[in-house]
């Protein structure tokens, strides 16, 4: 029998283990970020330790503050530890953090064809877990559709997103960092280029690579559906570990983007 709850694996490593400290940390990060109306349909959010990417992540999650209408979050991140092809769910009904449990939308998962169930892939993966405390703060009543992505075509992810699109009650969160372990100035250059590709997607046969973004599979899938639905994109923040808490010899890039439907966004 599969476990009913996916337990936290990186509490005390990527974010504080103590509930009070974690709650204060998330609240402080969100207080330092500014919401820019209207509410987005989708976000791209980094997933490193909070001391590194927390401020950039908060710039995305600040856009959901006050979004009491959101009841479902489709959360897609890369599988760093276990090889996968396509999308995989955790096979649990609850996702636990020190702040409590988030309910998994099992009905939504059951509606998706060809989704692997892989508790092993999810057990120690951080790319989704680090998003949960933010989501528990800004949309505490939302159910989560947690999916890890291995290498697959953008259309596979895009079709899954389209199937779960829903209305204003559903928001999509793609978990991804950008370039990894480059010198500071080189990382800046690479990340600016990647940012331009997200803001102004290339032709549909061109995709982001893992060197540009570790969560490129999820981003490529979002861009696939964004073209079809004519979403507009806004860059919320772009920094690296060299700007937050790391040295400048080997930096990791972080960006936060918001996507809006139809005329609800200003041109980027």
Give the pLDDT score at 204: 67
Pick the CATH number of 5-264 from 3.50.50.60, 3.40.50.300, 1.10.443.10, 3.40.830.10: 3.40.830.10
User: What pLDDT, in 10s, does the model give residues 120-133?
Assistant: 999 999 999 999 99
pLDDT above 60: residue 263: no
Work out the pLDDT band at 266, boundaries 50, 70, 90: very low
Q: Distance of alpha carbon 142 from its chain centroid, rounded?
A: 15
Would you say residue 1 has pLDDT above 80? no
pLDDT tens by residue, 58-117:
999 999 999 999 999 999 999 999 999 999 999 999 999 999 999 999 999 999 998 999
pLDDT of residue 117: 96
Question: What confidence score (pLDDT) does residue 9 get?
Answer: 98
Alpha carbon distance 155, 152 (integer Å): 8
Arithmetic mean of pLDDT, 187-216: 92
Pick from 31-40, 98-107, 140-149: least confident: 31-40
The pLDDT of residue 179: 98
The secondary structure of 86-119 as a DSSP string is SEEE-S-SEEEETTEEEEB-HHHHHTSTTPEE-H
Q: In the chain, where are the structural domains located? A: 5-264
| pLDDT for the residue 265 | 41
What pTM did the predictor assign?
0.95
Note the pLDDT of residue 246: 84
Q: Taking Cα atoms as reference points, which of 149, 143, 179 lies closest to residue 161?
A: 149
Q: Is the pLDDT of residue 29 over 60?
A: yes
What are 138's two structure tokens? Answer: 């800004």
pLDDT at 202 over 80: no
Average pLDDT, the chain: 94
What pLDDT was estimated at residue 262?
76
**Residues 164, 231: Cα–Cα separation, whole Å:** 16
**What is the distance between the alpha carbons of residues 194 and 188, in angstroms, rounded to a whole number?**
10
3-state secondary structure of 246: coil
DSSP letters for 117-164: E-HHHHHT--TTGGGHHHHHHHSTT-EEEEEEE-B--HHHHHHHHHHT
């Amino acid at each position: 029998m599969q476990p009913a709850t996916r337990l936290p694996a990186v509490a005390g490593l990527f974010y504080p283990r103590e509930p009070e400290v974690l709650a204060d940390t998330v609240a402080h990060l969100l207080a330092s970020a500014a919401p820019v109306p209207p509410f987005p349909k989708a976000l791209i959010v980094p997933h490193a330790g909070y001391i590194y990417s927390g401020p950039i992540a908060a710039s995305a999650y600040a856009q959901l503050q006050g979004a009491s209408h959101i009841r479902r979050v489709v959360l897609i991140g890369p599988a760093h530890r276990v090889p996968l092809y396509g999308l995989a769910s955790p096979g649990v009904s609850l996702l636990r953090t020190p702040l409590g449990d988030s309910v998994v939308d099992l009905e939504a998962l059951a509606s998706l064809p060809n989704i692997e169930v892989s508790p092993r892939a999810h057990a120690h993966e951080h790319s989704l877990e680090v998003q949960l405390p933010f989501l528990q703060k800004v949309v505490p009543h939302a159910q989560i559709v947690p999916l890890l992505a291995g290498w697959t075509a953008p259309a596979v992810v895009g079709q899954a997103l389209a199937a779960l699109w829903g209305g204003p009650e559903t928001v999509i969160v793609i978990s991804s960092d950008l370039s990894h372990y480059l010198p500071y100035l080189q990382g800046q250059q690479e990340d600016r280029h990647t940012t331009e590709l997200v803001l102004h997607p290339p032709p549909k046969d061109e995709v982001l690579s893992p060197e540009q973004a570790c969560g490129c599979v999820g981003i490529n899938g979002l861009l696939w559906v964004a073209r079809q639905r004519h979403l507009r994109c806004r860059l919320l923040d772009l920094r690296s570990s060299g700007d937050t808490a790391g040295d400048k010899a080997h930096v990791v890039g972080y960006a936060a983007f918001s996507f809006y439907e139809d005329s609800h966004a200003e041109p980027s």
